[in-house]
Amino acid sequence: MRIATWNVNSIRTRADRVVAWLQRSDVDVLALQETKCRDDQFPESRFTDLGYQVAHVGHSQWNGVALLSRVGLEDVEVGFPGQPGFGSPEPAVEARALGATCAGVRVWSLYVPNGRTLTDPHYEYKLRWLEALRTAAGGWLAADAGAQVALVGDWNIAPQDDDVWDVRVFAHSTHVSEPERAAFRAIVDAGYADVVRPHTPGPGVYTYWDYTQLRFARREGMRIDFVLGSPALAARVTNALIDRQERKGKGASDHAPVVVELRD
DNA sequence: ATGGTAGACAATCTA
């Protein structure tokens, strides 16, 4: 079984590329972020034609997350249970979390709030959102230590200095601040391991490259897209990759897909 | 060089 996550930066603009990628990558579950469309605008038939079931929680202009699965898509849920206001469309511009069970694995497509700047109210909201996620995700393991849970998506956090091309450039910026990194570590400490990094060691290994400043050509990126797995999920991981080929050429998203392979 | 690029939507906002 293969699970992937990809911030596509508009599913309508990227549909041809996503379809082509699905057809050659043998992925069973694909979590999408930044779909940038309302639910009624999602090009669902492009994916149902390929045998995938589709769930989407959208927004008129930005963010929006989806789950595509060809191995079942059950108990679809928006937001974090017991954490009202986080993950559901309130506050409207930032919160996105969509969960579903696919072949026994609870997969959450997450778009962690960007934060904008260290002094913006959205930064504090980002930290609260991550705390709500930690509380919810910790609760799932407290209820069932053997649960197979994958927390996947765009985390908008670079947990280590090596996860950006030059940490000096990011001084006083979001994504690398200690509170954000602590929030990420708290979720790891709650039992969710980064299952991709062991298979894709850095430095210089990224999942995102800004469109400006020739960042991709200069190999100046950030590792901010992650798959965190519960113990039972992590035990099944046999391989992982970041498909940086998909960042190349005209019409690419600014993020690359991240893929994990699970043993049966 | 006070910028750069991309996307939504139609004047700016977001990333």
CA-to-C1' distance for A70 and B8, Å? Answer: 30
Q: Is the CB of A219 under 7 A from strand B?
A: no
Cβ(A248)–Cβ(A205) below 8 Å: no
In CATH, what number is assigned to the domain containing residue A120? 3.60.10.10
Alpha helical stretches, state H, chain A:
11-25, 44-48, 121-143, 178-189, 231-234
Which residue among the candidates A52, A56, A59, A111 is catalytic per the annotation? A111
A39 is in an annotated binding site: no
How many distinct structural domains can be found in chain A?
1
pLDDT digits (tens, 9 = 90+) for A51-106: 999 999 987 677 899 999 999 999 999 988 777 666 554 444 445 899 999 999 99
CA-to-C1' distance for A229 and B8, Å? Answer: 33
CA-to-C1' distance for A83 and B1, Å? Answer: 48
Q: Is the CB of A116 under 7 A from strand B?
A: yes
Is residue A59 flagged as an active site residue? Answer: no
pLDDT digits (tens, 9 = 90+) for A167-215: 999 999 999 999 999 999 999 999 999 999 999 999 999 999 999 999 9
Q: What are the backbone angles phi and psi of residue A10, rounded to the nearest 5°? A: 90, 105
Is residue A154 flagged as an active site residue? Answer: yes
Cβ(A113)–Cβ(A33) below 8 Å: no
Domain that holds residue A104: 2-262
Please tell me the predicted confidence (pLDDT) of residue A83.
Answer: 73
Please tell me the predicted confidence (pLDDT) of residue A82.
Answer: 73
Is residue A255 flagged as an active site residue? Answer: yes
Only one residue has tokens 């992590």, namely A234
